[in-house]
């Protein structure tokens, strides 16, 4: 063994075990907080002297505990955490409980265990609406065991902000399947990933594409089938003009970039280019820092037309010849339209045009009902 191998062995051991320690700490923090929430709820419902403390319960509790981090607001969050995620405790049994200390697990009353079981049953009945209740309870337990062991409490803090149970479960699955960081989870929530998958004709395919886009490896990975500009708050989206929409998007540049996805950096609006003796103006130009390429966006407030695609091809060829640097990858073009006109796009965009994409955008959000069956099936698979 040489010195470099010694360093490598120590580093690999440290990285592996440090991750395990961090994961264990996160799991125990999650359990501490959800149990704290349970104890608070139990006291508020059944405590003999609960009336004595009233609205000052959490403040008094924080002052008496003197535990770092358990301030009154955090105790309130613990209570909310238990109220929403009580199935986590219901998933623990004597057989699978290798996390919660035996002395704590043993002190939980039979009444508590019964309440958890009834709560899970009620949750499945009301939220998932499945015929096979027993199978759903088992799938739910397996899901929450994975949630406990794989999702950090800082992730839960973001998930608690989601009021819709179905939407919250979608993001739980997304974390489990793609190991989202907290920062990326926020981005996915802000960019309406739940609504986007629900709008797709094939939820399963759209979900797989979404996971790929979290860490894009190729051009197609940064393109979305649907873009939502609901943050513009237009009451009459059908009456908007292209220049007005373009200006509105730039006035909401932060929200627009979040909607585009990870890695987009704004470069220019109405980029003027000269081809022979004629000037052309490109609506929007971005640079993608991950894929190292320019992204040219043409924005239309109508259905896709052949001349729109031809125009975009011209801009891409211009960038390849005049703008692209040796270290850059070829530019990508996105045509954003209100209606994709699928048949036309299939004929107008050849197989060789791998850098051209046509996507729809909407100024209002779709309904979410389409996702319910998909999420239920994913729960059983996981």
CA dihedral (93, 94, 95, 97) positive or negative:
positive
Flag whether pLDDT at 93 surpasses 80: no
CB atoms under 10 Å from CB of 360, counted, come to 18
**pLDDT per residue over 9-31, tens digit each?**
656 655 655 555 556 667 888 88
What's the 3-state SS for 62-85? HHHHCCCCCCHHHHHHHHHHHHHH
Angstrom distance (rounded) from CA 250 to CA 365? 20
Please tell me the predicted confidence (pLDDT) of residue 64.
81
Average pLDDT, the chain: 75
- Phi then psi for residue 356, to 5 deg, are -110, 130
Q: Which of 58-67, 162-171, 224-233 has the highest mean pLDDT?
A: 162-171
CB atoms under 10 Å from CB of 336, counted, come to 22
pLDDT bucket at 125, cuts 50 / 70 / 90: very low
Flag whether pLDDT at 320 surpasses 80: yes
Among 221, 365, 240, 193, which residue's Cα sits nearest to residue 295?
A: 221
**pLDDT per residue over 253-272, tens digit each?**
888 887 787 788 899 989 99
Show the tokens assigned to 303: 């259905």
> Where along the chain do the CATH 3.40.1350.10 domains lie?
216-362
pLDDT bucket at 123, cuts 50 / 70 / 90: very low
pLDDT bucket at 370, cuts 50 / 70 / 90: low
Please tell me the predicted confidence (pLDDT) of residue 116.
46
Q: Which of 56-65, 71-80, 204-213 has the highest mean pLDDT?
A: 71-80
CB atoms under 10 Å from CB of 166, counted, come to 17
Please compute the mean of the pLDDT values over residues 304-324 and round it to a whole number: 87
pLDDT bucket at 120, cuts 50 / 70 / 90: very low
Q: The domain 216-362 is classified under which CATH number: 3.40.50.10470, 3.30.300.180, 3.40.1350.10, 3.40.1190.10?
A: 3.40.1350.10
Angstrom distance (rounded) from CA 320 to CA 328? 10
Q: Which of 100-114, 130-144, 243-257, 352-366 has the highest mean pLDDT?
A: 243-257
Position with higher pLDDT, 154 vs 210 = 154
Position with higher pLDDT, 339 vs 181 = 181
Please compute the mean of the pLDDT values over residues 192-203 and round it to a whole number: 76
Q: What is the full DSSP assignment across 108-145?
A: S-HHHHHHHHHHHHHHIIIII--S-HHHHHHHHHHHHH
Name the pTM for this structure: 0.56
Flag whether pLDDT at 131 surpasses 50: no
């Amino acid at each position: 063994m040489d010195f470099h191998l010694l360093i490598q062995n120590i580093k690999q051991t440290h990285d592996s075990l440090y991750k395990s320690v961090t994961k264990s700490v996160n799991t125990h923090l999650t359990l501490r907080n959800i149990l704290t929430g349970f104890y608070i709820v139990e006291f508020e419902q059944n405590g003999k002297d609960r009336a004595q403390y009233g609205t000052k319960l959490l403040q008094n509790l924080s002052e008496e505990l003197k535990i770092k981090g358990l301030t009154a607001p955090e105790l309130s969050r613990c209570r909310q955490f238990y109220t929403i995620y009580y199935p986590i405790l219901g998933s623990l049994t004597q057989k699978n409980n290798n996390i919660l200390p035996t002395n704590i697990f043993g002190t939980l009353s039979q009444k508590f265990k019964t309440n958890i079981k009834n709560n899970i049953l009620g949750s499945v009945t009301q939220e998932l609406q499945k015929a096979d209740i027993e199978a759903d309870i088992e799938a739910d337990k397996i899901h929450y065991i994975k949630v406990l062991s794989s999702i950090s409490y800082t992730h839960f803090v973001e998930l608690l902000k989601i009021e819709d149970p179905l939407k919250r479960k979608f993001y739980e699955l997304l974390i489990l399947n793609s190991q989202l960081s907290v920062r990326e989870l926020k981005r996915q929530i802000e960019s309406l990933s739940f609504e986007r998958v629900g709008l797709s004709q094939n939820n399963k395919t759209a979900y797989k594409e979404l996971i790929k886009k979290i860490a894009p490896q190729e051009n197609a990975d940064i393109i979305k089938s649907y873009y939502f500009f609901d943050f513009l708050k237009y009451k009459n989206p059908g009456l908007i003009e292209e220049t007005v929409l373009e200006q509105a998007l730039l006035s909401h540049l932060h929200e627009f970039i979040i909607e585009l996805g990870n890695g987009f950096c704004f470069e220019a609006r109405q980029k003027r280019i000269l081809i022979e003796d004629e000037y052309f103006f490109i609506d929007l130009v971005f640079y993608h820092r991950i894929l190292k390429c320019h992204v040219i966006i043409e924005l239309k407030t109508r259905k896709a037309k052949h001349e729109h695609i031809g125009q975009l091809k011209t801009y891409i060829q211009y960038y390849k010849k005049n703008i692209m640097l040796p270290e850059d990858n070829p530019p990508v073009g996105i045509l954003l339209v209100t209606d994709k006109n699928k048949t036309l796009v299939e004929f107008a965009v050849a197989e060789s045009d791998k850098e051209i994409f046509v996507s729809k955008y909407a100024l209002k959000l779709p309904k979410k009902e389409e996702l319910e069956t998909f999420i239920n099936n994913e729960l059983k698979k996981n």
